Amino acid sequence: MDVQELLGKVAQHLSVSRAFGTAYEKDGSLVIPVALVAGGGGGGEGEGTSGSPTDDTTGDAGREDGESTPEVASSGSGGGFGGVVMPVGVYVVKDERVRWVPAVNANVVIVVAFLTLRMIARARRRAHRHAS
């Protein structure tokens, strides 16, 4: 796979349409989806030489012909990427007025509430310890 093809696939997977789809019109209103899209990736390649594996007990000196292990040219490449697409909400345009309608993710709300309560409980315990 060449770099252009890889970048094309990345762009395809990290787009707003993955979370919402394209803007559409319904009942005289234009609905424009909004999403948080974040991603990153990397890749590389290299070349080098390496010797054949040797027996740990004898090493090169244990070879019957007395010659050293020949070096073998090797090369490799790799890459990868990761990303997240989260729906944020939609803009609804009707009669020249724009209204924001947020997308509420119950899982995120629950996790944030739990973490907030945990931080408050820890702060109270620390304050109680230092007051004693």
What residues are paired with 119 via a beta bridge? none
pLDDT in tens, 45-93: 888 887 655 545 555 555 565 566 677 888 888 877 777 878 888 899 9
Angle 8-9-10 from CA coordinates, rounded to 5°: 90
**Which range of residues forms the domain containing residue 64?**
3-131
> Number of folded domains in the chain?
1
User: What's the pLDDT at 60?
Assistant: 52
CB contact at 8 A, 104 and 50: no
Give the mean pLDDT of the chain: 80
- Asked if 74 contacts 49 with a C-beta cutoff of 8 angstroms, the reply is yes
